[in-house]
Chains A and B, each alone.
Chain A
Amino acid sequence: MDRVPVLKIGEILLVSIQIDLDDQTALQLQEDLSDRIVETGAHGVVIDISALEIVDSFIGRMLSTIAAVSRVLDAETVVVGMRPAVAITLVELGLSLNGVRTALNVDKALEILAEAKQVRGVGVLTVRGSDDVPL
């Protein structure tokens, strides 16, 4: 079974999904990522799905779950690089990636995370909507 690598860059964990995810690999990633957040104390997670051609309801739910778990572990999750076709399909499916922040690319994601850290520094969590893919 394939495993998706989880890379640590500074205080950020970068997950770059370069293969078409099957269910087992997706579940494994969810588990690995949680362990790594606890292990590294990372404050942000960036998930790059630019290689994913198909995101069905299962993968979508998985992304939501990762974001929720990360948040509980004190890390913000940003999904980046979603293809337009995938986004359209998601919408047509009626899926909203609840609680998942999205960005167009990794640079934007890092900015979001840096801001969030500052905001968190004063104890207030604000949600910026301008960069979000409309869900």
Chain B
Amino acid sequence: MIDDWTPPPEPLLRMTLHGDQDVFVLRQRGREVAAAVRMEYQDQVRVATALSEIGRHAIGATVTFTAEVSAGPRLVIVVEADGIGVSPPEGTAAAGRLMDEVRVERDRISLTRGLPTQVGPERLAEARRELAASQPTTVLDELSVQNRQLVTALEEVQAHRDELLTLNAELEETNRGVMALYTQLSEELEQTNQGVVALYAELDERSAQLREANEAKSRFLANVSHELRAPVTAIIGLTRLLLDPRSEPLTSDQTHQLGLVQSSAADLLARVNDLLDLAKAESNRIEPNWAPVDLAAVFGQLRGTLRPLAKPGVRFEIAEPDVDQVELVTDEVLLTQVLRNLLTNALKFTDAGSVEMAALVLDGRLHIAVTDTGIGIPFAEQRRVFDEFHQVRGAHQAGGTGLGLPYARRLATLLGGGLSMVSEPGEGSTFTFDLPLRPAPEDDLDLPHVPAVLVVDDEAAARQVLREHLTGIAETVHEAADVRSALAIATRERPSVVFLDLRMPGGDGGELIAALAAVPDLAGIPVVVVTGVDVGHVPGAAAVLAKSVLTRRIVADVVTQVTA
């Protein structure tokens, strides 16, 4: 019995029992410790067996091997674990039979066995070194060390994962914020978009209204002119009858007054005719009739017809055009009208000096300049001389409708040309008409060509419009007024394109589309819907055109598009 035992500071070996395998290791290590401190073989077996008995029931405990040399050398093995001594493990009693002493305390069990007397401190130091060198003894030990490291690593990984999860959660929250912001922005954008779309729709509506108003104006002009022409013509005729020498004689006063009536009526007729011309030009009802034009002949004719208008003392000169080698293709009538208009104006406002006209070709365009030494146009007015019904104030209000120049400019535009003006008040003006030597190529040269086209519309006028637009595009234009005859013609003639009105009495246009699609041979024919109402997309139709905006260009483009 060693009552004054105190644990020495330096243990020989310390290990913890993590599992069953460690018990196995414990008894091997126990034997090694016993051997290292020079215990004899029998004692080695005793120590190992005792450790085996106790260790089996002390998983989790820490085992410390210590050697004491003072006061009789002995080996002390301490098994420590919380509360291990409260109910000692099963093997404790058995171990007690193998060891010199077994002491059970609350948290530890101490096993003591005496050592051979020759064991000194040097031997113990060496034993400590040997044991340290041989540790860990088994692969299992190493595995368990690695296992513990792995567990630590795993715990770290777990911690990292937790951190990541937290980060993720934060990120997700941020994401949600961003998404919310994005949604809000999207909504605002959507609203703005809707506003813009609404604005566009309004603009469309406005421009449609404007177009309608313009058309109404043109119609009104045409109607009024027509309505006015008949009575004015009647007045002129009746006045002529009254003035005829063969009718009843009139007093000189009456003759004079009737003469005034007649000239006024003639003036009125001229103005009404101007109006009618402009209305025609405005509604695009004037189609240039392209043909080679002999400019010299045109100039000669103008020279002859306008010379009488020149006031006394005014030199009227039209130079021979030096453009013989160039072939001019344009509309002779319209060209003459424009030039006559310019010359008439010049002659009207020139009291002295000269009115001259000359032509030259520059950059592939024909430039015809009419120069006068008349009263000129005030700078403030120059911008507006081409406006309809605008008359330059003062000396210019010599008579006329104010329609001459606008009409001339419109005709010039129809010919692909333009009118421009340079004027110095009091000095004179120069009007220049420049026009292409031949019609602009895009007007005719790149028109598509198809052998046959079928136009289906119950209104003859609408068919006529399309027929005119299709001149030069389609070799043959077939017309049908209803679905049934249209189907018959389509079957017989195999048109390249069908232009189809939707609303027709006795069969909707959609029926024709369906009927064509049902026949394999005809299913490939593209159908262009031409309609007065806004229908949007029409199923089965290759394109949809609005009747109100039909032009030759649009028709040509749609034919190109659907036959491509």
Binding site for B on A (CB under 8 A): 20, 22-24, 53-58, 83, 85-86, 88-89, 92-94
Q: Mark B2-31, 1 if CB is under 8 A from A, else 0.
A: 000000000000000000110110011001
Nearest Cβ on chain B to A90's Cβ, whole angstroms: 9
Cα A83 to Cα B31 with chains together (Å): 16
Contact partner of B97 (CB less than 8 A), chosen from A53, A86, A92, is: A92
Q: What residue in chain B is nearest A55 (Cβ atoms)? A: B49
The answer to whether A85 and B53 have CB atoms under 8 Å apart is: no
The 7 closest A-B pairs by CB, nearest first: A56-B52, A22-B24, A85-B45, A85-B42, A54-B48, A56-B49, A89-B49
Report A-chain residues with C-beta under 8 Å of the C-beta of B52.
Answer: 54, 56, 58
The answer to whether A54 and B97 have CB atoms under 8 Å apart is: no
Contact partner of A54 (CB less than 8 A), chosen from B27, B56, B91, B94, is: B27
Decide if B290 is an interface residue (CB 8 Å cutoff).
Answer: no
Cα A57 to Cα B46 with chains together (Å): 12
Which chain B residues numbered 44 to 62 have a C-beta less than 8 Å away from chain A?
44-46, 48-49, 52-53, 56
Report A-chain residues with C-beta under 8 Å of the C-beta of B21.
Answer: 22
Interface centre among B23, B45, B52, B91 (most CB of A within 10 A): B45
Which chain B residues numbered 92 to 122 have a C-beta less than 8 Å away from chain A?
94, 97-98
Report A-chain residues with C-beta under 8 Å of the C-beta of B220.
Answer: none
The answer to whether A57 and B91 have CB atoms under 8 Å apart is: yes
Majority DSSP secondary structure for residues of B touching A: helix
A-B contact pairs, 26 of them (CB 8 A): A22-B24, A23-B56, A53-B31, A53-B45, A53-B48, A54-B27, A54-B31, A54-B49, A54-B52, A56-B27, A56-B49, A56-B53, A56-B91, A56-B94, A57-B91, A57-B94, A58-B52, A85-B41, A85-B44, A88-B42, A88-B45, A89-B42, A89-B45, A92-B46, A92-B97, A93-B97
Binding site for A on B (CB under 8 A): 20-21, 23-24, 27-28, 31, 41-42, 44-46, 48-49, 52-53, 56, 91, 94, 97-98
Report B-chain residues with C-beta under 8 Å of the C-beta of A22.
Answer: 20-21, 23-24
- For the complex with contacts A56-B94, A57-B53, 17 further pairs of A-B residues with Cβ separation under 8 Å are A22-B20, A22-B23, A23-B20, A23-B23, A23-B56, A53-B45, A56-B27, A56-B56, A57-B94, A85-B44, A86-B45, A88-B42, A89-B45, A89-B46, A92-B97, A92-B98, A94-B97
Nearest Cβ on chain B to A94's Cβ, whole angstroms: 6
Cα A83 to Cα B56 with chains together (Å): 23
Report A-chain residues with C-beta under 8 Å of the C-beta of B24.
Answer: 20, 22-23
Report A-chain residues with C-beta under 8 Å of the C-beta of B49.
Answer: 54-56, 89, 93
Cα A85 to Cα B39 with chains together (Å): 13
Cα A85 to Cα B98 with chains together (Å): 12
Cα A19 to Cα B91 with chains together (Å): 23
Q: What residue in chain A is nearest B46 (Cβ atoms)? A: A89
Contact partner of A24 (CB less than 8 A), chosen from B20, B91, B94, is: B20
Q: What residue in chain B is nearest A93 (Cβ atoms)? A: B94
Report A-chain residues with C-beta under 8 Å of the C-beta of B44.
Answer: 85
The answer to whether B28 and A20 have CB atoms under 8 Å apart is: yes
Nearest Cβ on chain B to A30's Cβ, whole angstroms: 16
